[in-house]
Amino acid sequence: MKLWRDRTLLVCVLISVSALGASGQNDDVDAVRPSGISGPVRKAQPVESISDSTDEGSIPAASPIRKASVAKSTSARSRKTRAKAKRTPASTPASIEYTSDGIPKTAAASVIVVDANTGQTLYEKNADQTRAPASTQKLLTALIIAERGFLDRPVTVQQIDTMAEPVKLNIKPGDTYQRIDLLRALLVKSPNDVARCLARDNAGSVEAFAEVMNRRARELGAVNSHFVNPNGLPMPGQYSTARDLSLIARTAYANPTIRSIVCLPQLVFRYANGRTRELQNTNKVLKSLPYCNGMKTGYTEAAGHCLISSASRGGRDIIVVVLGDSKAGVWRDSSALLSWGLWM
């Protein structure tokens, strides 16, 4: 009976994952090797059916018992609805395709799925390819701040902290906040000015904090990464890999402060002048997949759409890193891989 219930739950989750889809990418896909499985490296199958369907739903006709003017109005609305449907094919979600081993196919450039408890790699695709990490590296920034502690200590914003575009919380020079409040805003909404403020408060400058980031990354085994700033904005010499980010994510996942923040769907932030603002979590999977409990999004033109996500079910904890995906594909691929990891 339990097995039948689990299978039913899996089907429901996969249906939910399908609803996230929109258009994918037909990137060149290299070798794929689920860790711990013997045999030669498998080649990923080309992703051909991740693009959206353009099928239109039926439009109900006007009721014959209504007055002619009502029927005419309904008919006009129907024509507009049909025209709008033709212009927005992305409204119909794409289905998920699987390899012969039952692993969800993705169009992302780099992917890794790991067991958060044991560190075992369950699946990987170009996991050691160096790529721009975008804001996913804020997870390392947050980890360093959380590990230092004293989160109730005040932080006073300086002018240099505000020099960060494009995503900002617009904290003002001279304003004072508790570290924990800035840390929560960083992980939920991902503002770049908050990242700079926390980094400068921690190490004296953004440059000095980058050295702290690189040292902590090496301690975690992330030896194929190099960080230049705390927020992930493109800079020469800044890069990481899906595998390195999964190592950072595992340690962050084990940190109770970070775990308590990344699971929040929204957060009310109070500015120094008393004004409040509700911050919505940038991680859409958190709101669409019941088992998802974090972690961090990222996007730049150079990096593409990126997401480190986590999920837990029945004592099993999974972390998925997806780098270089499409806008819609990053949510669909992350959800599919999390579901696969939880039920495999």
Q: What is the DSSP string of 142-174?
A: HHHHHHH--TTSEEE--GGGG---SS-----TT
Report the candidate in 148, 145, 177, 174 with the shortest Cα–Cα distance to residue 160.
Answer: 174
- Residue 166, preceding bond cis, omega within 30 degrees? yes
* AA identity, residue 119: G
DSSP structure class, residue 89? G
138 is known as an active-site residue: yes
Other CB atoms within 10 A of residue 71 CB? 15
Cα–Cα distance for residue pair 207/179, rounded to 1 Å: 20
Catalytic-role residue among 105, 138, 284, 296: 138
The vertex-272 CA angle with 269 and 278, nearest 5°, equals 15
- Are the C-beta atoms of residues 242 and 129 closer than 8 Å to each other? yes
Which whole-number Å values give the CA distances from 50 to 92, 132, 188, 254, 262, in the listed order? 12, 24, 29, 34, 29
| CB-count exposure of residue 140 (10 Å: 0-12, 13-18, 19+) | buried
190 is known as an active-site residue: yes
Q: How many CB atoms lie within 10 A of CB 60?
A: 9
73 an active-site residue? no
Q: Which helix (H) or strand (E) holds 82?
A: helix 68-87
Q: How far is CA 302 from CA 22, 133, 201, 239, 324, in A?
A: 21, 9, 28, 11, 9
Q: Which of 51, 105, 125, 135 is catalytic?
A: 135
CA 150 to each of CA 145, 153, 184, 253, 255: distance values in angstroms, whole numbers, following the listed order: 9, 6, 14, 20, 15
- Collapsing DSSP to helix, strand or coil, 55 comes out as coil
- Cite the active site residues: 135, 138, 190
